[in-house]
Amino acid sequence: MDAVIIPFPSRTPEATTDRLANALLNLQSALDEQRRALHDWRFAMTELGIGVAGLGHSLGAYQEALGSVETKLTTVHGAATELESWADAVIEGRPGALPLDPAGA
């Protein structure tokens, strides 16, 4: 029995150079895509920052409006408390129960 030796195909230097060139082109393409993705991400973060700043401004205005409403409600609550006291005095028949001063209400 004689053994048959099958030689491995040898690579030509040109084939190796072509593979290396293709690999470098693929790497360059991947780096370009990564640069574009990073640019797009930075742009999105900038837009998000602008949106968040606008939201903060809107919330500040809303807080001021709520403060104004609170002030008005406090005034109305005080008037309602006075009216309640007057009504209680009238119901109880206490002498000297005067209606509220319209100028003060």
Q: pLDDT (tens digit, 9 = 90+) per residue, 34-53? A: 999 999 999 999 999 999 99
Nearest CA to 77 out of 98, 50, 105, 97 is that of 105
Residue 105 scores a pLDDT above 50:
no
Q: How far apart are CA 83 and CA 100, in angstroms?
A: 7
Distance CA 83, CA 99 (A): 8
Task: Indicate the pTM of the whole model.
Answer: 0.51
How far lies 9's CA from each of 4, 6, 24, 54, 69, in Å?
A: 15, 9, 24, 67, 87
Q: What angle do CA 55, 60, 65 make, to 5 degrees?
A: 125
